[in-house]
Structure 1
Amino acid sequence: MKKVAFYTLGCKLNYSETSTIGRIFQERGFEKVEFTDTPDIYVINTCSVTDNADKKCRKIVKEALKHSPNAFITIVGCYAQLKPKEISEIPGVDAVLGAAEKFQLVDILEGFEKRGKAEVYASPISEANTFHNSYSFGDRTRTFLKVQDGCDYSCTFCTIPLARGNSRSDSIENVVKSAHEIAESGVKEIVLTGVNTGDFGLQDGKRVETFYQLIQELDKIETIDRFRISSIEPNLLHNDIIAFVSKSNRFMPHFHVPLQSGSNKILKLMRRRYQRELYAERVAKIKELMPHCCIGVDVIVGFPGETEEDFLETYNFLNELDVSYLHVFPYSERENTLAPGMSGKVSTKDRNRRADMLRILSEKKKHFFYEQNIGSEFNVLFEDDVKNGIMEGWTENYIRVVAKYDPVLVNETKHVRLTGLNNDNLMEAEETYKELLQH
């Protein structure tokens, strides 16, 4: 029995796909092992969104060969689709598979025999037109369930359409079936993931279902306690979705809504499909119906053409907006996108300075949001990640609660009152389960 190990870079979608590829291996008689357990095969799932994709890929390959010098190393994922030849030249890499091939890698590579030169199997992205059902399993208390893939948007900074192809989705029937399978494993929370999750419902280029219909059906599954929406574009986060979540017992009061810029000028240059006014309306509607709701925001700073005034417009917009935390990204050039050819390039120094300013703002936002919830009662689902005798759990509205480790608490939901922040700005809780939660 050959042993296989996996490493995942990037988003929740990648984690769901890695887990599914892992199950394919196990069904074929391979043994799934840890990265350090001298496997015969490594599968590295790459990302193209984060900086230094090449550097990270090389480092992981190098580390893999330290643990298992003769292992067969396979690279898949977004970076593999965009740069297959470049990756094939990394010392130690044996095979590179693109978006249309990654789920067939066991069949394509068969015996995983090293041939001295990397094999490349990467079709044009137009051939990545099939939806492959995926969900993470056995890795976390939460499961990431992929419901949509690809993107039809043409944002000027993004390579995802080139790496994943056109928007396509699973059917509601299949998603519900997967959710039932996940529930049978004892998992209590499912995070719905996709490249453009709110665009769910496209099959063969035609809209046959909607994201709103999907969440209505999932809400009926009594064996899953919690659903979260990983990320949803503001123009696709319609008021009926917000209203439904506000009344649901299973969909959590937590939205992650990409903004990218608070300047309408920059939003136009980015080819985003909304203006800041729509974004503000969505946030206001969420807070009107769910005052305790957590709202996360993606922001890019230093985009070509962003002046200091444009950046301050974004900063002030976010400062005044009732959101809970920010994910901040300094703009990074991507080949085969329009943005690098635009005028008004922002220096790396200014990009990093602006990012630092927004990260400080994010910490203030998060601290304020946590403080607003002190004294309130929530249900906390505890996870199995334990560090220094401390475990963590999450409230419905995505507040991280720390507790003294107790194996009985793993994957259990407990009703608590939030009492205050510790020195690490993490929430502590007490009351009903005071003895279990103090540390």
Structure 2
Amino acid sequence: MSEAQVISLGCRLNISESEQIRAMLAKESDLVVVNSCAVTSEAVRQTRQAIRRARRANPDARLLVTGCAADIEREQLAAMPEVDGLVANTQKLDARAWNVPAEAPPVPQDRTRAFIAIQNGCDHACTFCVIPQGRGASRSLTIAQVLSEVERHLDHGAPEIVLTGVDVTSWGHDLPGAPPLGELVRAVIDSFPQLKRLRMSSLDGIEIDPLLFELFASEERVMPHLHLSLQHGHDLILKRMKRRHLRGDAVELVRRLKEQRPEIAIGADLIAGFPTESEEHHAANLSIIAELGIVHGHIFPYSPRPGTPAARMPQVERQTVKRRAAELRAATSQARDEWLASLVDKPHTVLAERDGTGYTPHFARVALPDSTPAGSLVTMTPTKHGNGLLE
């Protein structure tokens, strides 16, 4: 190996952090870093699988593990014979943890979309979630720090900026004056007229402030794509999850947004088979897909995580959890197919990726000609759709 290899699993925040780790380790060789995820038991399984695969591909390299699983599953991962060491999740962006110079120069991201982590950690205590154990309390970058990061990526030619974090809508709560997220987004839009596309990562709908709502509703450079940290469609389950919103809050938010910006695409995280979930609760979870028009669905079969209150609640039988997850996936797939059909024969501005596809402003995936340069913005009018793609 001529340079360090960084393998990223899990969320967009991990993607952003992996790019920073890659920059810090640019001069290192014979090193593999697995930036792990622990949000579900399946994520931990995939982390272990990635570690074993990386060791087979690089038998002589030093293999280090960081990320949430490196804290939450520390003893189990440390016992793996493939692992040479662990770097604590809270220290993974500290050059000293990797024994490299702190002044290691940043490098441009090898991506068409630049992910900027505007905050980290979470102050909430959802009963199913283990992430605060691996990420700690919410910490925000200042507006000046975010603007500096945006400028750096724009200077490297990034056509789209994605603002991400663990609990993005909690940004600013720990800063002087507790500025709302909308204030940061407004600052980015006003400071960089050359910025073509600004996309938001997953948001807690109940914390979308009035200014951020208005930017989603009316600012063309804020992409018409809202991904909600929804989790469920039944109020009782939401209360048992210790979420801060009810079903009606999400319905009203989406109704108001679509009233002002009809083309906005809705995404959402939904958990299948949460403890105590009945068939009635599951039916409500299914029905919210159609009611909100969820076309970007992230479906998670519930799995008990260590040390969480939900792990001590009455569990739903695993086969039932799997069936309900499959039904949720089928419902979101149908909603997505109907939505894609509505986009056929209409022109769309598409940001080209490196795999021969690209994304519209509302995050519909489009097949592009092989000659399309990665990072370019092209106008395309699809004539058909299939397998989740416009063509």
Give TM-score scaled by structure 1 length: 0.83
Q: Does 1:149 align with 2:120?
A: yes
Contact 2:64 2:86 in 1 (8 A): yes
Instruction: Quote the residue 2:250 is aligned against.
Output: 279
Letter of the 1:153 partner, please give it.
H
Contact 2:143 2:184 (C-alpha < 8 Å) held by counterparts: yes
In structure 2, distance between residues paired with 1:70 and 1:322: 50
Q: Which amino acid aligns with 1:157?
A: F
* Equivalent pair of 2:9/2:36 in contact (CA under 8 Å): yes
Q: CA deviation at 1:66?
A: 2.3
Are 2:41 and 2:305, in contact at CA under 8 Å, matched by a contact in 1?
Answer: no
Q: Which residue of the partner structure matches residue 99 of structure 2?
A: 110
CA distance in 2, matches of 1:92, 1:187: 36
Q: Which amino acid aligns with 1:75?
A: V
Equivalent AA in structure 2 for residue 212 of structure 1: G
Task: Identify if the C-alpha distance between structure 1 residues 145 and 108 changes in structure 2 by more than 3 Å, giving closer, same or farther.
Answer: closer
Greater Cα shift, 176-185 or 47-56: 47-56
**Aligned counterpart, 2:19:** 19
Distance 1:241 1:420 in 2: 34
SS at 1:45's partner residue?
A: strand
- Structure 1 unaligned runs (5+)? 31-38, 112-134, 386-390, 429-439
Give the Å deviation of 1:54: 4.3
The farther-off stretch of 135-144 and 366-375 is 135-144
How do 1:182-197 and structure 2 match up within 5 A?
182-197=153-168
CA change 1:256–1:108 in 2 (3 A) is closer
Which residue matches 1:316?
A: 287
C-alpha change, 1:260 and 1:301, in structure 2 (3 Å) is: same
1:208 alignment partner in structure 2? 178
Aligned equivalent of 1:401: 366
Counterpart of 2:38 in 1: which secondary structure?
Answer: coil
Residue in 1 aligned with 2:55?
65
Give 1:90's aligned residue.
80
Q: 1:427 to 1:347 in 2, by over 3 A?
A: same
Letter matched to residue 325 of structure 1? H
Match of 2:189 in 1: 219
> Is 2:78 the counterpart of 1:78?
no
For the structure 1 residues 2 and 380, does the alpha-carbon distance in structure 2 shift closer, same or farther, using more than 3 Å as the test?
Answer: closer
- Amino acid across the alignment from 1:247: S
Hey, what's the Cα distance between the residues in 1 that align with 2:66 and 2:144?
28
**1:50 corresponds to which residue?**
40
Q: Which residue of structure 2 aligns with residue 413 of structure 1?
A: 377
> Shift of residue 2 of structure 1?
6.7
Could you tell me whether the CA contact under 8 Å between 1:145 and 1:192 is conserved in 2? yes
- Determine the C-alpha separation between the residues in 1 that align with 2:303 and 2:267: 21
Amino acid at match of 2:389: L
Please give the per-residue CA displacement for 1:185-209, whole angstroms capped at 9, x wherever unaligned.
11100111000101111336x6532
Q: Say whether 1:291 aligns with 2:262.
A: yes
In structure 1, C-alpha distance between the alignment counterparts of 2:325 and 2:107, rounded to whole Å: 32
Residue 35 of structure 2 aligns to a residue in which SS?
strand
Check 1:224–1:381 CA distance in 2 against 1; reply closer, same or farther (3 A cut).
same
Q: TM-score by structure 2 length?
A: 0.93
Equivalent position to 2:240, from 269, 275, 283: 269
The equivalent residue for 2:143 is: 172
Deviates more, 1:317-326 or 1:249-258: 317-326
| Equivalent position amino acid for 2:50 in 1 | I
- Identity over aligned residues, as a percent? 31
The alignment partner of 2:287 has SS state of helix
Q: How far off is 1:151 after superposition?
A: 0.4
How far apart are the structure 2 equivalents of 1:241 and 1:197? 12
Q: Distance in 2 between matches of 1:59 and 1:324?
A: 30
Residue 46 of structure 1, CA deviation: 0.4
Return the letter of the residue paired with 2:324.
Answer: R
Q: Would you say the 8 A contact 2:65–2:85 is kept in 1? A: yes
Give the conservation status (yes or no) of the 8 Å contact 2:37–2:44: no
Out of 384, 388, 391, the position equivalent to 2:354 is: 384
Q: What value does the CA root-mean-square deviation take over the aligned residues?
A: 2.0
Partner of 2:103: none
- 1:175-231: CA deviations, max 9, x gaps? 011111100111100111000101111336x65322110010111212321010011
Q: 1:57 to 1:367 in 2, by over 3 A?
A: closer
List alignment gaps of at least 5 residues for structure 2.
101-105
Contact residue 6 and residue 21 of structure 2 kept, 8 A? no
Distance change >3 Å, CA 358–CA 137, structure 1 → 2: farther
Q: Which residue of 1 aligns with 2:91?
A: 101
Q: 1:375 aligns with which of 345, 349, 353?
A: 345
Distance 1:136 1:12, change over 3 A: farther
- Structure 1 residues 425 and 149: alpha-carbon distance in aligned structure 2, compared to 1, 3 A threshold: closer
The number of equivalent residue pairs is: 385
Could you say which residue in structure 2 is the equivalent of 1:435?
Answer: none
SS state at 1:192 partner: strand
Question: Alpha-carbon deviations, 1:91-116, whole Å to 9, x = none?
Answer: 03121121232223x534538xxxxx
Cα distance in 1 for residues equivalent to 2:282 and 2:256: 25
Distance of 1:241 and 1:366 partners within structure 2:
26
CA contact (8 A) 2:4 2:31 kept: yes
1:254 and 1:398 in contact (8 A); partners too: yes
